[in-house]
Amino acid sequence: MRNLIIIDHPLVKRDLTLLRDRRTPSNLFRAILRRMASLMAYSVTADLRVQQISVTTPLERTRGYTVTDSIILVPILRAGLGLVGGFVEVLPDARVGHIGLYRDEETLTPVDYYLKLPERLNKALVILLDPMLATGGSAAAAVTFLKKKGARKILFVSLVAAPEGVRTLSKAHPDVKIYTCALDRQLNSRGYILPGLGDAGDRMFGTAE
Ligand code: PRP
Ligand code: URA
């Protein structure tokens, strides 16, 4: 799993534990996810390119820096939306595209229903956001869409990953680095991550029966 980077900051671990807890209600789930996304964004953006500029303080001129990478965030709908706010907070100039995918409950294969991406994808660092990397089918399909539209530098960011998903995504797209906060044990027979945190979209939007 050469491409896998685990973000194991103590505050990220604390927040992930709160998200895993079945008692955490949707309003708290959303707030914690947003906070966690900002923490994750620090790790994910550690290699951004900067350019030296000069800045004038109230006292004198000194050296400063500006980020030169153009960044495009792409959440996979629905659950990826929960990560956008936290990333945008620390990347205010980022543009945002959207990919709509859901997993067919029987076959577990991704079904696409929406695609809207900013221009000049080929010049940007594209950060694909989805809390769950389960079978890896959705992530691999989303990366394929992005590459077809010209993306060349893509990172995938998730909260929880299953070994099966990491393998599938790495095999399909070995050039894509995978960031996650936890590599969980396995998938169950319905394709849910164990121990996981349940259905991320349902928990976030309160749509579980
Ligand atoms: C979840 C999750 C991923 C996908 C992961 O979305 O947000 O997109 O499942 O599973 P995979 O790795 O096996 O493809 P879901 O299909 O439940 O849609 P939703 O976000 O609209 O709830
Ligand atoms: N999608 C989720 O939301 N949770 C899982 O455990 C697997 C796929």
Average pLDDT over residues 139-168: 98
Average pLDDT over residues 181-202: 97
**Residue-level pLDDT at 42:** 94
Is 112 part of the annotated catalytic residue set?
Answer: no
* Residue list, ligand 1 pocket, CB within 6 Å: 76, 78-79, 101-103, 108, 110, 130-139, 165, 191, 199-201
> 34-58 pLDDT, tens per residue?
999 999 999 999 999 999 999 999 9
Q: How confident is the model at residue 1 (pLDDT cuts 50, 70, 90)?
A: confident
Written as one letter, the residue type at 102 is: Y
Q: Whose CA is nearest to atom 5 of ligand 2?
A: 192
Three-state secondary structure of the chain:
CCCEEECCCHHHHHHHHHHHCCCCCHHHHHHHHHHHHHHHHHHHCCCCCEEEEEEECCCCEEEEEEECCEEEEEEEECCCHHHHHHHHHHCCCCEECEEEEEECCCCCCEEEEEEECCCCHHHEEEEEECCEECCCHHHHHHHHHHHHCCCCEEEEECCEECHHHHHHHHHHCCCCEEEECEECCEECCCCCEECCCCCHHHHHHCCCC
Is 69 part of the annotated catalytic residue set?
Answer: no
Ligand at shortest distance from the CA of 158: 1
Is residue 132 a contact partner of residue 82, using CB atoms and an 8 Å limit? no
Ligand at shortest distance from the CA of 104: 1
> 102-137 pLDDT, tens per residue?
999 899 999 999 999 999 999 999 999 999 999 999
Is 175 part of the annotated catalytic residue set?
Answer: no
**Residue-level pLDDT at 150:** 97
Domains in the chain (CATH in brackets) are 4-48+68-205 (3.40.50.2020)
Average pLDDT over residues 177-183: 98
Average pLDDT over residues 86-97: 97
Closest ligand 2 atom, residue 197 Cα: 6
| 147, pLDDT greater than 90 | yes
User: What is the CA 103 to chain-centroid distance, rounded?
Assistant: 17
